[in-house]
């Protein structure tokens, strides 16, 4: 039987295995006032459902404009998943985010859904060598902020994290220009995400992106932090970059969308 769970209680429980639960933890920390959490447990283990209002998430709002809610599920057993699914409203658009294919049957039992995309998370325990040519900084400069914003990391979000010590920027400069840059920022506690990797067109195909990512990994390792790198399944360049710097996949989150009956119905002419 699923029960409503306070956000902090869910965070404390999920934090026992932060890498496995990093996507749920990230959403709980980012939007604590806009989520509802349900948990179920039994002989099969435990399961957690996080229901998020998509309007507060820039990514979900843009990518799934017909969805009112996002339902993130982490479950040890399909029976536990089935008990959680009954807590999800059926009369609105929903995007389900699942880490296990075995959970899909429970979703199908109540919701017609279409697969939309998948995101691969990578990590590494190997030590990367620092690159002295890459500047590790909290003040990357106006042009770097523009490049990061083009990757979906707005300055208004990123700059406060940099100032608070919860993010770093890695910048490789060439002849007064930026050859490549990336950021690393806190997802939850010791788990930091490496993202915003960008190489201006004039400097591509020279291995600069790999260098700034390696520099980020080296910095995180030196600080005793665990790296996480995420790539959408169709972004073969990003996946190739992750593998080239020694990262290995540990988690795949698949998105399935359910449209409300009102949204799915054809409009009368």
Token pair, residue 191, equals 């788990």
End-to-end Cα, the chain, rounded Å: 45
Token reading at 95: 């995007």
Same domain, 158 and 113: no
Overall average pLDDT of the 23-50 stretch: 95
Nearest to 196 by CA among 248, 243, 149, 235: 149
Same-domain check for residues 116 and 166: no
Residues 200 and 110 in one domain: no
Answer yes or no: is 125 within a domain: no
Angle at 99 between CA 86 and CA 108, to 5 degrees: 40
- Integer Cα distance of 203 and 148 in angstroms: 16
Does residue 64 register a pLDDT over 90? Answer: yes
In a domain, residue 129? The reply is no
**Considering its fold, how many domains does the chain have in total?**
2
Q: Kindly state the average pLDDT of the residues 127-155.
A: 93
Tokens 């997802």 belong to: 187
Q: Which one is predicted more confidently, 213 or 261? A: 213
Can you give the length of the chain in residues? 269
Q: Examine the domain organization and report whether 224 and 177 are in the same domain.
A: yes
**What CATH number corresponds to the domain at position 224?**
3.40.630.30
Per the structure, the complete domain to which residue 226 belongs is given by 134-246
Same domain, 17 and 106: yes
pLDDT at 267 over 50: no
Query: Is 90 within a domain?
Result: yes
User: What pLDDT is recorded for position 128?
Assistant: 76
Distance CA 231, CA 81 (A): 26
CA 86 to chain centroid:
25
Residues 102 and 14 in one domain: yes
pLDDT digits (tens, 9 = 90+) for 195-244: 999 999 999 999 999 999 999 999 999 999 999 999 999 999 999 999 99
Same domain, 37 and 77: yes
Tell me, yes or no, whether 186 lies in a domain: yes
- Check: CB of residue 169 under 8 Å from CB of residue 194: no
Residues 140 and 103 in one domain: no
Q: Quote the pTM value.
A: 0.90
Which two tokens mark 73?
A: 């599920």
């Amino acid at each position: 039987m699923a029960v409503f769970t306070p956000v902090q209680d869910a965070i404390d429980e999920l934090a026992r295995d932060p890498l496995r639960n990093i996507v749920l933890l990230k959403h709980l920390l980012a939007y604590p006032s806009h989520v509802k959490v349900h948990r179920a447990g039994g002989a099969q283990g435990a399961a957690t459902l996080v229901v998020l209002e998509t309007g507060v998430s820039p990514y979900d709002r843009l990518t799934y404009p017909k969805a009112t809610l996002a339902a993130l599920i982490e479950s040890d057993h399909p029976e536990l998943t089935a008990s959680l699914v009954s807590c999800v409203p059926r009369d609105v658009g929903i995007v389900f985010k699942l880490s296990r294919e075995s959970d899909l049957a429970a979703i199908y039992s109540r919701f017609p859904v279409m697969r939309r995309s998948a995101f691969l998370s990578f990590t590494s325990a190997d030590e990367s060598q620092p690159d002295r040519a890459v500047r590790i900084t909290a003040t990357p400069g106006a042009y770097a902020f523009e490049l990061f914003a083009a990757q979906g990391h707005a300055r208004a979000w990123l700059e406060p994290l940099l100032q608070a010590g919860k993010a770093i920027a890695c910048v490789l400069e060439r002849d007064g220009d930026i050859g490549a840059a990336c950021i690393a920022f806190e997802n939850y506690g010791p788990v930091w995400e490496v993202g915003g990797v960008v190489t201006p067109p004039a400097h591509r195909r020279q291995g600069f992106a790999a260098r700034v990512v390696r520099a980020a990994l080296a910095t995180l390792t030196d600080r005793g932090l665990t790296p996480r790198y995420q790539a959408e399944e169709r972004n073969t360049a990003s996946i190739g970059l992750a593998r080239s710097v020694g990262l290995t996949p540990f988690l795949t989150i698949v998105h399935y969308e359910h449209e409300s009956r009102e949204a799915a119905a054809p409009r009368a002419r």
